[in-house]
Structure 1
Amino acid sequence: MTVKDDSFTDWKNREEIAESMIPMIGRLHRERDVTVLLHSRSLVNKSVVSILKTHRFARQIAGEELSVTDTLPFVQALTTLDLGPSQIDIGRLAEIYQADDRGLSVAEFTAEAVAGATGGNKIDRREPRDVVLYGFGRIGRLVARLLIEKAGSGNGLRLRAIVVRGGGDQDIIKRASLLRRDSIHGQFQGTITVDEAESAIIANGNTIKVIYANDPSEVNYTAYGINNAILIDNTGKWRDREGLSQHLRPGIDKVVLTAPGKGDVPNIVHGVNHDTIKPDEQILSCASCTTNAIVPPLKAMADEYGVLRGHVETVHSFTNDQNLLDNYHKADRRGRSAPLNMVITETGAASAVAKALPDLKAPITGSSIRVPVPDVSIAILSLRLGRETTREEVLDHLRDVSLTSPLKRQIDFTTAPDAVSSDFIGSRHSSIVDAGATKVDGDNAILYLWYDNEFGYSCQVVRVVQHVTGVEYPTYPAPAV
């Protein structure tokens, strides 16, 4: 048999193994509210090829490719356990098991590693919590996709309604079409139908009421059977406590803003300061996409090396706030054509660092350039560190953070030598460290951080909502602290 035949036979065998994983992963998710991960990447509702690609991606961050022959026994072991709601990373299980010298079987090791999610230790499955989207633009539709995707187990978060201004004839059909097809993020994974008579969009069996209103005061959510809901404001029209408080109508318990909050509104970056949210806090902000991109790696660097000062330069994709062609705009430069120009603009991300990392006393400055790409941005974070180090040490540290730390859902790591912005469309991490571009000279470090400013940020928003509603389930093996 030739090498070519050997490779093809090996591929077909791995396809067969991955195919056998799919129903087990699906049952764990639907029946027990267990999400199977591979190095923080969900394997729920993934195709055979997607599962194999995710295993191969581990080569970039862990140094070697994971094989489905290594991870299948862990999936099989999980199906035999009395598991409660949780997230279980089989990549980490396989990695830790290889280093374990006690001679345990895979089944014995797995049972021990996830003991906190089994038997009397398991937490109760949460009742569905209602969610309302106020506004249905770029972020609103991506958050909707994520909420619908995560509703597969029938627990957790349930998207009940979207609130928009009336847009004339066939408004609901056009909005459903925008949810169904996206020029950047591709097709919606599932089916979408419209019930015009009931003013509802049905997505993967989830009935989402479309409510038309010009102002928060016009809506009584209890009239639609919505109670104790989380309202996510995607409009950015109101950013202080007084303005956002208008949403606290009958049926709404908390308000989450998808833009930087002003005044005393808490700015939350999940993974960094989400545990500071007070249980009785009704209004909070998820900060900006750029703040979510720079704060996690900034914290990782500050914790290990100390940071004396820093500057962030963001090269940001254009947004709907800019004009397609030169036209009047209240901002000086944003009126110039977005797809034809690089546009210098301001960013509040640097000043927002203080809200998310109050213990970091280092001054952080920032500026931004909008460029003619529709999605994925890069933040160049230049830091003066508290001690000298090397490029190799910094990369080893950030790789380890991306794999094992509490920030592993926020920070990703790539060693691809030819990586470009479009490679990171759809990334669920808020920040991806580009190892090849990283520069370190003594106590100076420059990090190049990619981020999908639409989808990665939307994932952070959903994580915050999961946390405040109590449906953010524990992860096993537990991240290293």
Structure 2
Amino acid sequence: MSTSDHFEIWQRREALAEAMIPVIGRLYRERDVTILVHSRSLVNKSVISILKTHRYVRQIEDRELAIEDTSPILNALAELDLGPSRIDIGQLAIAYAKDERGLSVEEFTKDAVAGALGDNKVVREGPTDVVLYGFGRIGRLLARLLIEKAGSGNGLRLRAVVVRKGSEDDLMKRASLLRRDSIHGQFNGSIHIDADENVICANGNAIKVIYSNDPSEVDYTEYGIKDAILIDNTGKWRDREGLSKHLRPGIAKVVLTAPGKGDVKNIVHGVNHHTVDGDDTVISCASCTTNAIVPPLKAINDEFGIVRGHVETVHSFTNDQNLLDNFHKGNRRGRSAPLNMVLTETGAASAIAKALPELEAHISGSAIRVPTPDVSMAILNLDLAKETTREELNQYLREVSLHSPLKRQIDFTTSSDAVSTDFVGSRHASIVDANATIVNGKNAIVYLWYDNEFGYSCQVVRAVQHISGVEYPLFPQD
């Protein structure tokens, strides 16, 4: 192929991606339809991002995915009267290439998404209000995600954040921290403040900033908030008694972004979110590490059985540590986080039993905090019930990442040059590093990357979507 041929192909694909953007936008804004390519959303993405997402598929599929294959399917979807849903045009394109029924693209597409048409459509009667209690690292990322997912306005709607007032220019500083992030970059959109109403307006979402020192001080109905889901990002209260303080007028349910204590359910979306019922008013989304390790542990246990194991986490430092040596109530955490590797404890191993009770194997765990600001690694050292090979285990985990109910939780990479910063912004709970996998008979060592901030925040939003009924069906269905 000549140089000019390569360039002409690129230009043609650029034009197709450009044409896809307004179609993707209309489907999202008007019908709450999210277009995906292999679990990666194309909503609000640039031409280059759309093309890169297609290109990424070569790492995990046996074939290239060309935009020439997905564009006709997207155009067919645009002609259908779709209800709220998530539609993976990458999976549909691959399925259409294998389909032997002789259907046209339009016929195949309509049949594949029949569950989102006619009487099968999800019907929403209005938005679900969300309140963020605390506005730190996780709180601001949750805000970004909730704003990004506003869609037609009938899904989750961020109404307020509750914080302690830090200074007279508190509102401006909160808005500035939402607008700029040293790790995750600029906010994707427009932010301004309404000082008279104490509101941060982000992409048209009016977010009331409520100042309070204690949950008992707030009556949310005074702000027009009703039947809301409150997400506690502070970690100050972790048992049912403490978290129930949030069940004030206007609040229907409370979600904790830390491991829950006592009888509080620890939910890892994709694994045990189905255990949440209508009577649960207080739940926990466990920890970032628990969310990273439980899905692959479940997948491996289902196929190979786990007899025992050890989890070692190499975790980026957090605000819980000190910048320079100073007093800390925890052992070693008082030492300078940017200057040291810090051996510390992790509750993730003990939390496995709450989220995955069918795993009878004993799993021990330890952690090392390292001088990086984000993205961590979990190393699973597992004794399996049956022998396998590196190739067999990797192939199985690749299939899980593509075609199982855990594909939103588990990603897979075969890149030989992957390092931690490559996974900043990953929306998966964890990413299997296939080149690092080690297998010796019944012993397997699996390396998992995870964005302990953003990937975890995505898991929290998924859990909130589930309990609020905003977790729309995915097509094609497995």
Where 1:330 maps in the other structure, the secondary structure is coil
Mean CA deviation greater in 59-68 or 416-425: 59-68
Q: Counterparts of 1:306-455 in structure 2 under 5 Å? A: 306-455=305-454
Q: Which residue is 2:477 aligned to?
A: 478
CA contact (8 A) 1:376 1:424 kept: yes
Q: Does 1:220 align with 2:219?
A: yes
TM-score by length of 1: 0.99
- Write the deviation string for residues 84-121 of structure 1: whole angstroms up to 9, x where unpaired: 11000011101111111111111111111111111121
Question: Secondary structure in 1 aligned to 2:387?
Answer: strand
How does 1:223-262 map onto structure 2 within 5 Å?
223-262=222-261
Per-residue deviation, residues 197-249 of structure 1 (Å, max 9, x unmatched): 11110000000000000000110000000000000000000000000000000
Q: 2:280 aligned with 1:281, yes or no? A: yes
- Paired residue for 1:294? 293
Aligned to 2:441, what secondary structure does the other structure show?
Answer: strand
Unaligned runs of 5+ in 1: none
Aligned 8 A contact 1:271 1:410 in 2? yes
Contact persistence 1:385–1:444 (CA under 8 A): yes
Deviation at 1:358, TM superposition (A): 0.7
Rounded to whole Å, the distance in 2 between the matches of 1:452 and 1:230 is: 24
Q: Which runs of 5+ in 2 are unaligned?
A: none
Task: Tell me if structure 1 keeps the 8 A contact 2:375–2:451.
Answer: yes
Superposed CA offset, 1:179-201 (max 9, x none): 00000000000000011111110
Give the aligned partner of residue 80 of structure 2: 81
Residue 126 (structure 1) shift: 4.5
1:400 Cα deviation after fit: 0.5
The answer to whether the Cα contact below 8 Å between 2:30 and 2:151 also exists between their aligned partners in 1 is no
Q: Is the 8 A contact 2:38 2:91 kept in 1?
A: yes
Aligned pair 1:48/2:39, yes or no?
A: no
What letter matches 2:474 in structure 1? T
Partners of 2:264 and 2:54 in 1: how far apart?
41
The root-mean-square deviation of aligned C-alpha atoms, in Å, is: 0.8
* In structure 2, distance between residues paired with 1:362 and 1:455: 29
Aligned partners of 2:255 and 2:285 also within 8 Å: yes
Measured in 1, the distance between the counterparts of 2:418 and 2:288 equals 21
Distance 1:63 1:373 in 2: 34
Contact 1:172 1:199 in 2 (8 A): yes
- Which position in structure 1 is the counterpart of 2:202? 203
**Structure 1 counterpart of 2:400, which letter?**
V
Distance 2:352 2:161 in 1: 31
Matched letter for residue 362 of structure 2:
P
Q: What SS does the aligned partner of 2:123 have?
A: coil
Aligned CA distance change for structure 1 residues 451 and 16 (closer, same or farther; 3 Å): same
Q: CA deviation at 1:125?
A: 2.9
Separation (CA, whole Å) in 1 of partners of 2:122 and 2:175: 36
SS in 2 for 1:295: helix
> Which residue type is aligned with residue 290 of structure 2?
T
2:85 maps to a residue whose letter is S
1:466 to 2:455 alignment: no
Task: State the partner residue of 1:116.
Answer: 115
Query: Which amino acid is the alignment partner of residue 128 of structure 2?
Result: R
Post-superposition CA distance 1:286-319 (Å, at most 9, x none): 0000000000000000111111111100000000
Distance across 2 between alignment mates of 1:332 and 1:24: 54
| Partner-residue secondary structure (3-state), 2:446 | strand
